[in-house]
Structure 1
């Protein structure tokens, strides 16, 4: 008789629904109070954060072997919702909840299939003065025009380059006949001074969302701290691994809370490019594959800007022009 036959199992026949789901760090096998405290101090405060980490990363944080770390990660993954299979119909139902935040330009909205969408990461990249921060400010205003569950949605703005200007929000708010002070009250601004601080600020977004529905998370200058701290080819692998974790956290927030993540990025010249535009966004393939939508911004004549849709899961490449005016982003 097979050891796994129904007869041998008798009344103790295994049922998946009867398995006790783990809820906190100390529920993991081999994790005592001291280890749980070290995990939280290192930024691994939830099962989700452990489930999306790597064995070397987790092992280094709490000074355990990579084998034990791998088992801990596997346990967490088995107890976190959304890390297994789901039906295509379930994905379709979730996609029906996607919201679109207007950029202020009808042409740009049309190119983006209705605006910047929730449940994904949209990257705007380009040289300085191409409109990246202007778009970030405009989206911070327009996100609050969406219908929230109870009150107008809130915005989280992580500023790594000290470019957030409340005065600009005031002008943009008045241009759409909204109370500027109330709008500023719904924007949570933080200065991301290091990569660790930047990642910590992202981890605190769920706390803000518990009290106020967050519909937009902006990281203005995604790669600035990474470029400063990781210099040279020797540090590239470590930088990209850390960037990958950061982007994974951003994706998780976008999908879990149905919010839009917008990141701005700089460009660099590609010396190996002999044809076409030699500029490319920094961040390499890690960022290239992580961004749901990528838009390349260029300067035009006077106050005009050019936007080129580089990558979109549903749309072909496209080009449009928009303006940066006193009132904000317009056609």
Structure 2
């Protein structure tokens, strides 16, 4: 529950948000003394805020009975849910294969990489592909695109929509509802189903995410939420790292709840930064080690020579694997690959995800690849957005 429900002054609400207290759950565990120090207010005022938070969150009393166990489920129920998960295609079959079918719903997927590698292109592609009708292999849903950098390009989205429609109609030319679907699948309709938010500060970003559940209650056909990028304002506007960590943790928990509660995919696009380790600078995804645990899966996009690759760095159900992908006028697509195909199996019980074959590319680790590509062009620990479509 958000702090907006508390009967306190708007000044105190603004102070709480800036200090990283965006929910009642984060307030009920803090002491009035500490809160007074962080907000620079009187202890009496801090005590009043904490008491109101306890009252409105229901944490002031003891929870008993069924309400305490609300939301729990058995492992068998979880397994059944995983078997019927929906996926959003990336537009590249090899990329989809290493993901087990595409970007999974009910999960938060983080995608990171150097500038120009195709993160925004992937975000636009997912916002289009999610709208393909169910009968044609899509989810027939809408997309929410939260843009913190101003990198979303409607002209590019129109191109990708045109290509997606052409490919879909060519593939299902003999479908019984082909003529009806041909009339419905128009680029202008695809772009009309992308709900766009332009975010200019971290407070706006927090506010949008805090209220996103209200928006989704009215639009239950939304199947993907894309944030491009999750890091932009938090790298620039924050000096207090402890407060930033708390805000990010709270935000990630809300996004996890949205993904599971509304059966949609949350895709977080992330930037790279340099980290001094063992006497040298190395490339790593932004926001530090703590943030690495805030997503369900993590995918790294990197250069291998002049070719783009996607690598699964973290996943609870998928093995580490890499696959090549290309970006052209149509969007994200396959490349003519010569790498060997390998079957990834689970030693305990058969193959992963019903014997799905995945691309396994034997290459150096993604971060090493990113560093080599950048050093070759700009020298060590430097990079620029030099590759664009």
Answer whether TM exceeds 0.5 for this pair: yes
Give 1:171's match in structure 2, choosing from 151, 155, 159.
159
CA displacement at 1:180 relative to structure 2: 1.2
Return the offset for 1:97: 4.3
Q: Partner of 1:130 in structure 2?
A: 117
Q: Match of 1:210, SS?
A: helix
1:55 aligns with 2:29: yes
Asked if the contact 2:89/2:129 (under 8 Å) is kept, the reply is yes
Deviations 1:297-329 (A, max 9, x none): 112444x31111100111221111100010000
Q: Is the 8 A contact 1:126 1:266 kept in 2?
A: yes
- Say if 2:81 is the partner of 1:94: yes
Distance 1:223 1:142 in 2: 25
Residue 81 to residue 131, structure 1, CA distance change in 2 (3 Å): farther
CA–CA separation in structure 2 for the residues paired with 1:81 and 1:107? 44
Q: Which runs of 5+ in 2 are unaligned?
A: 166-184, 335-389
| CA distance in structure 1 between the partners assigned to 2:328 and 2:158 by the alignment | 14
Structure 1: distance between partners of 2:70 and 2:276:
40
| Deviation (angstroms), 1:161 | 0.6
After TM superposition, list the pairs within 5 Å mapping 1:92-241 onto structure 2: 92-145=79-132, 147=134, 152-177=140-165, 178-212=185-219, 213-231=221-239, 235-241=240-246
- Contact kept, 8 Å, 1:133 with 1:220, in 2: the verdict is yes
SS of the aligned residue for 1:144 comes to coil
Write the deviation string for residues 113-171 of structure 1: whole angstroms up to 9, x where unpaired.
110001111111111001100100000001112539xx931111110110011111111
Distance 1:319 1:250 in 2: 26
1:247 paired residue number: 252
Normalising by structure 2, we get a TM-score of 0.66
Structure 1 range deviating more: 124-133 or 170-179: 170-179
The alignment covers a number of residue pairs equal to 293
Change (3 A) 1:329 1:81: farther
The answer to whether the 8 A contact 1:119-1:258 is kept is yes
Query: 2 CA distance for matches of 1:323 and 1:144?
Result: 21
Distance, in Å, in 2 between the alignment partners of 1:25 and 1:270 is: 35
CA distance 1:249–1:81, change in 2 (3 Å): farther
Unaligned runs of 5+ in 1: 1-22
